[in-house]
Amino acid sequence: MTKIAAYIARVPRLWLYASAGLLQLALIVLMVGDRIRILRSGSEVMLQTRPIDPRDFLRGDYVTLGYDISTLPAGELKDQLVSGESAFVYVKLAPKPDGFYQAVSVHREPVPLAAGEVLIRGRAGRGSMCGNRGGQQVFCDTLRLDYGIESFFVPQGEGRAIESARNAGKVAIVAAVTPGGRAAIKRLLLDGKPVYDEPMF
C-alpha cells in the first residue's frame, strides 16, 4: 500500500486532475450512450398517465408521472420472499385496442412473450413488502412499482399546464423498452398528439 501511495505522490498533480476529469467524462458518455441505445432500439409502448395527489407539486422543470401500471396486484408473487429493501420484477404488457398498453401479469424473472407483448422491469419498493417470514420481507397483495419513467423534463414555465392536463387524463407517454425491460420516455403526448420528444443527443 505504501508503494502505491509513494507512486501516486510522484505523479504530477496536473496528471491526476486530468485523469479524474477523463474518468468523469467517460462515465457521462457511458450514461448518455446507454440512454441513446434504449431510445433507438427499444420497443415503443404507449402508456396513459393518471392523476397524482395534488400535493405532489412540480419539482423544478419536470413533471411527476404516474401510470395504471404503477400499482398492480402481486398475483403469483404474493407472499414470496424478498431480499433487501426493494426488488426488481417484470411486468408483461400487452396492447389494448385503443393502442395503450396494459399490464397482463407480474413475474420475478423474464418470461416468454406472445406477439405484441413487452416486458418492462420495475422496482418494487416501500409499500410492496408486508409481514416477515423467517427474518425476510414478503410481497404484499399489491405492488407499488417504479419503472424509471416517473418524471419528464419540460421547458421552463410549462410544467403547470402539463400537470393540469395530466390530472385531467389528457397526458400519455410513449416509452422505449429494451428486451431486458429497461425503459425511457421517448415522447410526451397531449390529447394523443406529440408535444415533446426526447432528443437523441
Residue 110 pLDDT more than 90?
yes
Question: Is residue 108 packed enough to be buried (19+ CB in 10 Å), middle (13-18) or exposed (0-12)?
Answer: middle
pLDDT, average across residues 174-200? 87
pLDDT band at 80 (very low <50, low <70, confident <90, very high): confident
| Per-residue pLDDT, 122 | 94
Sheet (strand 81-82) strand order: 81-82, 136-139, 129-133
C-alpha grid cell, residue 103:
399490464
Average pLDDT, the chain: 81
Residue 27 contacts by C-beta under 8 Å, 6 or more apart in sequence? none
| Per-residue pLDDT, 85 | 66
pLDDT band at 32 (very low <50, low <70, confident <90, very high): low
Nearest residue to 48 (alpha-carbon basis) of 101, 106, 119, 116: 101
- Helix or strand or coil: residue 192? coil
Degrees, nearest 5: CA angle 87-26-2: 90
pLDDT, average across residues 94-98? 94
Residue 70 contacts by C-beta under 8 Å, 6 or more apart in sequence? 50, 144, 145, 146, 147, 150
| Per-residue pLDDT, 138 | 86
| Per-residue pLDDT, 151 | 85
Residue 49 pLDDT more than 70?
yes
CA–CA dist 140, 177 (Å, integer): 26
Residue 69 pLDDT more than 90?
yes
| Per-residue pLDDT, 54 | 45
pLDDT, average across residues 96-114? 94
pLDDT in tens, 125-134: 877 888 776 6
β pairing state of 183-190 and 193-197: antiparallel
Weakest-pLDDT range from 49-53, 70-74, 117-121, 162-166: 49-53
More confident residue, 39 or 84: 39
pLDDT in tens, 133-174: 666 788 889 999 999 999 888 777 777 788 888 888 889 999
Domain boundaries, the chain: 2-35, 43-197
Residue 57 pLDDT more than 60?
no
